[in-house]
Amino acid sequence: MAGGGDAGERLHNVDLKSLQVFASLVKECNVTKAAVELNMTQSAVSHTLARLRDLFHDPLFVSMGRGLVPTARALELAEPLQRALDALETLVRPAEGFDAASFTGTFRIATSDYIGFILLPLLIQRLSAAAPGIDLDIRPLKPQDDLAALKDGAIDLVLWNEESAPPNFYVRELFSDRLKAMVRIGHPEIEGSLSLEQFCQGKHLRASSTYGAVKEAVNGLYGALGIRAPASLTMPHFLLAPLLVSQSDLIGLIAELTARRLGSAVPLQVLEPPVEVGGFTVSLVWHGRRHADPAHRWLRGEIAAVAEDIRRDQAVAAASRTD
């Protein structure tokens, strides 16, 4: 009983503003930046931090350079306290629907150059018409770090080539794609089709930035042929590959949607690989902390609508090939 009473007394000493200060300090690791975010003075933030230290019997943050570093106890508290704040925000939020036309804000999205090339032009068109106050901050995809960034709130959404995610994350499959081979128009040895011998003996361009299902598809192709691709050129940008192939005699791989979007702008022969290549899926991923947020939910719906248009175009193209 005594323990329950102590817990109740400690809970009585907690106010919402203190929790908001804690959450901001976890995110910013800087008293000045937290004060600006919360529209408070630095002394008020420091005073609140002192009370939180007494409450939790822990320093919570220690000074390092010009910033703060959260202690192990602070990191342990961060996610459950953020969930509590998110739940409270949901409870007090007005019941009326989300007004996209008047909303202003920035969404941070991590994605690859390939996915951005396929999806972002269509998404920007929709946002310009329906929600001109929304800005997009596109970040380079870092598969090893992006789930943690979603969890911490450093980014809002991830677009990538994975079909699953750990607990507390949501995944929505958007569209599928597959790899084709590409060589330049006027290639001295390859015209109209690509034989197994030509593929195995030719020099290749490899994109080192491939990951996940795309990397598996690429490795699966070369593995099925029992060769290690004799890469004459390796570079980190998947989307730059078509331009480089069009100006050389290299053989490369290209996503079918990328080839279709480029059309005749880049002089390429897009050919079937000499062996069957597995496809891959593009998915949207977000953390549970933003799942119920109206603006976040609305943007996810817009991305899903763009993906539906992409799938519809794919179906039309597939039907035309069978006619």
pLDDT at 169 over 70: yes
Q: Structural domain of residue 110, as residue ranges?
A: 105-174+281-322
Please indicate whether residue 253 or residue 84 has the higher confidence score (pLDDT).
253
> Of the candidates 64, 91, 118, which is a domain's last residue?
91
Looking at the fold, whether 238 and 213 belong to one and the same domain comes out as yes
The least confident of 42-51, 202-211, 222-231, 262-271 is 222-231
Mean pLDDT of 86-110: 79
Q: Which residue has the higher pLDDT, 15 or 146?
A: 146
pLDDT band at 224 (very low <50, low <70, confident <90, very high): low
| pLDDT attached to residue 96 | 56
Q: Are residues 254 and 290 in the same domain?
A: no
What angle, rounded to 10 degrees, do the helices at 42-56 and 31-38 form? 110
Q: Are residues 195 and 235 in the same domain?
A: yes
- CATH number of the domain at 144, please: 3.40.190.10
Would you mind telling me the total number of residues written for the chain in this entry? 323
Kindly report the three-state secondary structure assignment for every residue of the chain: CHHHHHHHHHHHCCCHHHHHHHHHHHHHCCHHHHHHHHCCCHHHHHHHHHHHHHHHCCCCEEEECCEEEECHHHHHHHHHHHHHHHHHHHHHCCCCCCCCCCCCEEEEEEECHHHHHHHHHHHHHHHHHHCCCEEEEEEECCCCCHHHHHHHCCCCEEEECCCCCCCCEEEEEEEEECEEEEEECCCCCCCCCCCHHHHHHCCEEEECCCCHHHHHHHHHHHHHHCCCCCEEEEECCHHHHHHHHHCCCCEEEEEHHHHHHHCCCCCEEEECCCCCCCCEEEEEEEEHHHCCCHHHHHHHHHHHHHHHHHHHHHHHHHHHHHC
Check if the beta carbon of residue 249 is closer than 8 Å to that of residue 201: no
**Would you say residue 190 lies in a domain?**
yes
Same domain membership, residue 53 and residue 197: no
pLDDT tens readout for residues 250-306: 999 899 999 999 988 999 999 999 887 778 899 999 998 888 899 999 999 999 999
Written as six digits, the tokens of 60 are 């919570």
Do 286 and 166 lie in one domain? The reply is yes
Comparing 22-31, 37-46, 141-150, 214-223, which segment has the lowest mean pLDDT? 214-223
> Does residue 96 form part of some domain?
no
CA atoms within 13 A on the CB side of 128: 6
* Residue 149 shares a structural domain with residue 288: yes
Provide the residue type at 51 as one letter: R
How many Cα neighbours within 13 Å face the side chain of 60?
Answer: 23
Is 316 found in the same domain as 190?
Answer: no
Q: Report whether pLDDT(213) > 80.
A: no
Residue at 30 is within a domain? yes
- Asked if pLDDT for residue 197 goes beyond 80, the answer is yes
* Domain boundary residue, one of 44, 64, 91: 91
Flag whether pLDDT at 3 surpasses 60.
no
Confidence at residue 82, expressed as pLDDT on a 0 to 100 scale: 80
d(CA 45, CA 25): 9
Share of the chain above pLDDT 90, in %: 53
Q: Are residues 135 and 120 in the same domain?
A: yes
Q: Per the domain annotation, does 2 fall within a domain?
A: no
Which CATH number fits the domain that encloses residue 24?
1.10.10.10
Query: 204 to each of 209, 244, 270, 294, how far by Cα in Å?
Result: 15, 11, 15, 47
pLDDT cut 70: percent of the chain above it: 86
pLDDT higher than 50, residue 195: yes
Q: 230 forms bridges with which residues in the sheet?
A: none
So what's the pLDDT on residue 93? 59
**What does the pLDDT read at residue 65?**
86
C-alpha span between 31 and 49 (Å, rounded): 9
Which residues, other chains included, contact 141 with Cβ-Cβ below 8 Å and sequence gap of 6+? 110, 111, 112, 115, 158, 159, 160, 211
pLDDT (0 to 100) of residue 200 = 86
Q: Is 202's pLDDT higher than 70?
A: yes
- Residues 178-188, mean pLDDT to the nearest whole number: 95
Do 231 and 209 lie in one domain? The reply is yes
Q: Which of 207-211, 261-265, 318-322 is least confident?
A: 207-211
> Do 274 and 183 fall within a single domain?
yes
Which of 7-21, 120-134, 153-167 has the weakest average pLDDT? 7-21
Would you say residue 1 lies in a domain? no
Query: Does pLDDT of 117 surpass 90?
Result: yes
Number of domains the chain is built from: 3
Bridge partners for 252 per DSSP: 182
Answer yes or no: do 186 and 268 share one domain.
yes
Residue 41 lies in a domain: yes
Residues 184 and 274 in one domain: yes
314 is a domain residue:
yes
Q: What is the mean pLDDT of the chain?
A: 86
C-alpha gyration radius of the chain: 25
Domain ends where: 91, 125, 156? 91
d(CA 246, CA 64): 51
